[in-house]
Copies of this chain bind each other. A is one copy, B any other.
Amino acid sequence: MVKAGTSKAGTKGVARPERERQIVDIAGRVFAEHGYAGTSLTAVAEQAGISKPLIYNYFGSKEGLFAACLTCAGEVLVEVIERTARLGLVGQQRAVVTLDQFYAALEPRPWMWRVFRDPTMPATPEIAAQHDQYARRMHAVGVEGVRELLHLAGNDDPLDASAMTAVWVNVFDALVTWWIDHPGESRASMTARTIRLSGAVFGPMETAPPVGPAFD
């Protein structure tokens, strides 16, 4: 033994699963703020109050840590969008309710959205495949709604539907990002704002949408 008592090694009584959740949450925040490429694991470890090797112990690599964050984000976001789609709403109502559900899901962890859309995420096949899987499922739901809208306007061009879906996703992005930049706003006030803006653009809705808790 060397100078017993001076070393700070040794368990702190935190079990692995809890510590992993903790690290993913911190890392997600840092990834969201600086992007994958701009993030150093030293900084993450510092923020999390632990040492770098522990991260490697649990996640294997920087990419592995990002993959964990991506899985966390992807699962939540896909779940929300697919569940909301099953409500069977259409048009403006569908849009507003989906946004409201997103706000609810992102309220505790706003970093999820940024991580999912990080343009600097690693370009490896593993990450790409993982991201693609979630993106496809979300895109499929989005395209379905968009195609219906375009069809009503007499447009069945698949490229138009693709572009329109991109627009729609970015509208989400704008509102979520705006929300992150205005931390004073609650989920409720964001949803109210969404309804006002939607009304200003498309005209007011006939019936109030069934906005409620995240899980009905």
Looking at A152, A171, A193, A197, which has the most chain B CB atoms within 10 Å of its CB? A197
Asked whether B199 lies within 8 Å of A160 as measured between CB atoms, the reply is no
- Is B163 touching A193 in the complex (CB atoms < 8 A)? yes
**What is the predominant secondary structure among interface residues of chain A facing chain B?**
helix
For window 135-166 of chain A, which residues contact chain B by CB distance below 8 Å? 149-150, 152-153, 155, 157, 159-160, 162-164, 166
Q: Are A155 and B196 in contact (CB under 8 A)?
A: yes
Contact residue range for chain A? Answer: 35 or more
Interface residue? A37 (CB, 8 A): yes
| Contact A160:B35 (CB < 8 A) given known A167-B171, A170-B170, A174-B167 | no
Q: Are A169 and B163 in contact (CB under 8 A)?
A: no
Chain B nearest Cβ from A10, distance in angstroms: 35
**Is A212 at the interface (CB under 8 A from chain B)?**
no
Q: What is the count of identical protomers in the complex?
A: 2
Which residue of chain B is the closest to A182 with respect to CB atoms? Answer: B159
Tell me the bound Cα distance from A152 to B197 in angstroms: 12
- Which chain B residues lie closer than 8 Å to A150 at the CB level? 197, 200
> Which of chain B's residues have a CB closer than 8 A to the CB of A199?
153
| CB contact under 8 A between A167 and B162, given known A119-B119, A199-B153 | no
The answer to whether B155 touches A200, judged by C-beta atoms less than 8 angstroms apart, is yes
How far does the alpha carbon of A36 sit from the alpha carbon of B36 in the complex, in Å?
11
A184-204 residues with Cβ-Cβ distance < 8 A to B are 193, 196-197, 199-202
> A83 within 8 Å of B by Cβ?
no
| B197 A164 Cβ-Cβ under 8 A | yes
A–B Cβ pairs within 8 angstroms, 13 of them = A38-B120, A118-B119, A120-B120, A153-B200, A153-B201, A155-B200, A162-B178, A166-B174, A166-B177, A167-B175, A167-B178, A169-B174, A171-B174
